[in-house]
Structure 1
Amino acid sequence: MEESLVLFFEQYSNYALIISIVINIIVAIFGFIPSFFVTGANIIFFGFWTGTLISFLGESIGAIVAFLLYRKGFKKLSTLTVEKYPKAKTLLWKQGKEAFYLILSLRLLPFVPSGLVTFISSIGKVSFIIFAIASTIGKVPALLIEAYSVYQVTQWTWQGKVILVGAGLYLVILAFKNNRNK
């Protein structure tokens, strides 16, 4: 996917920046599609720092657009669904500083799906401004870690190999646990 996106950027190089941001917005709206392939394509095409900055802008704008869309369309429908997830309920009712710090901390954790944080925030009581600021600030370290990891993997450095082995082991353990629970 990453290679296809780089080829697309090359084909439409005058619009690559806009295309990248739009793709990041779409990824954020869907909420379950990982963004690392866009980050990887951005780093390969634009270079490490510019690609990381473009990914940051796209993901931040994407989270804000997704928040607004989710809030408009899912608020009433989804409150009942979230009741099934006790940890998610915590964010659902937070406001002000508490919501800010919770969103910020959830954005810092790489294993918490970004789409889930956006979705629960949007149907909860958190204000748009609090969400936008906390989400954007929280994306900085998370995206730097993601960008560094993607860069190391694409450059096939020893750190990239360790990252891939670690990700592979994680997936094997996850599959084992999932199979064991069945």
Structure 2
Amino acid sequence: MDIESLQQFWSFIQDFFTLENTQELMKDYRELGPLPGILLPMLEALLPFLPLFVFVVANAAAFGLWLGFLYSWLGASIGAIIVFLVIRRLGQKRFFRFLSKNEQVRKLTGWVERHGFGPLFLLLCFPFSPSAVINVVAGLSRVSISQFVLAVLSGKMVMIFIISFIGYDIQSLIQKPFRSALVVLGIVVLWYIGKRVELYLNTKERKSRRKEVGEQQ
């Protein structure tokens, strides 16, 4: 596919998945209930050129702030975990081997392995972070599945809620800074809880390894 074809394809995606078109899509498939609201964010994790921001805002408009947030969070989290598990399973296959051998990717995977939950959580909190890259790098690293799932569920929760809240009532966010402060506080609390859970999981894993070594001896 040449550059001109890619530009045409990108232009088609931008024109098709506008906020107005996506909201109409939600209305057309209203009889399917929450399924479209979950599937669209999930597809974005698999096809990162799709506009997650538009899907989340459309969900908030179609289902209300809380249900829209829930469906978007479920879809985005499930999609990210699927990508992680596929890369973890197939990362050493010939098709993906060039990624694991890339020097920059190796540096990123090493950095993720050393720091674990913390950086994954913070990166996933930001709406415009390269989540597709994060999922792939985490899958290629030795980060445990439990650490990644914890980071995705908590980080995506923050990110999706921020987008849902902004899209649902942006004027309230500007006019009532107290609400903005609550969002920031929520991020800090979730990060702290995640770090405590990560510490518990790491301690449990170390004890399990010691027990296995002891039994082998």
What TM-score bracket applies, with the shorter chain setting the length? Answer: 0.7 to 0.9
Q: Which moved more, 1:111-120 or 1:51-60?
A: 111-120
Unaligned runs of 5+ in 1: 161-182
- Name 1:80's counterpart in structure 2: 101
The whole-number CA distance in structure 2 between the counterparts of 1:148 and 1:12 is 23
Q: Using the alignment, how far apart are the partners of 1:158 and 1:101 within structure 2?
A: 30
Residue 52 of structure 1 aligns to which amino acid in structure 2? F
2:82 alignment partner AA: V
- CA RMSD between the two structures: 2.4
Q: Is the 8 A contact 2:84 2:139 kept in 1?
A: yes
- How far apart are 1:45 and its partner, in Å? 0.6
Residue 53 (structure 1) aligned with residue 67 (structure 2): no
Residues 152, 90 of structure 1: alpha-carbon distance in 2 compared, 3 angstrom cutoff = farther
Q: Which residue of 2 aligns with 1:129?
A: 146
The structural deviation recorded for 1:139 is: 1.4
- Higher-RCO chain (CA-CA 8 Å, sequence separation at least 6): 1
Asked whether the 8 Å contact 1:25–1:65 carries over to 2, the reply is no
2:61 to 41, 44, 51: 44
Distance in 1 separating the partners of 2:126 and 2:24: 31
> In the TM superposition, what is the alpha-carbon distance from 1:91 to its structure 2 partner?
3.6
* Aligned-partner SS, 2:142: coil
- Tell me how far 1:88 sits from its aligned partner: 2.2
**Aligned counterparts of 2:87 and 2:43: Cα–Cα separation in 1:** 13
The sequence identity of aligned pairs, in percent, is 27
Structure-1 residue corresponding to 2:52: 35
Q: Provide closer, same or farther for how the CA distance between residues 73 and 3 of structure 1 changes in structure 2, counting only shifts above 3 A.
A: farther
* 1:82-113 residue CA offsets vs partner (Å, 9 max, x unmatched): x2258624445x16xx3122211222234422
Q: Which amino acid aligns with 2:137?
A: I
Find the aligned partners of 1:61 and 1:51 in 2 and give their Cα distance.
Answer: 16
- The TM-score normalised by the length of structure 2 is 0.62
TM-score, normalising length from structure 1? 0.72
Instruction: Give runs of ≥4 in structure 1 deviating > 4 Å.
Output: none
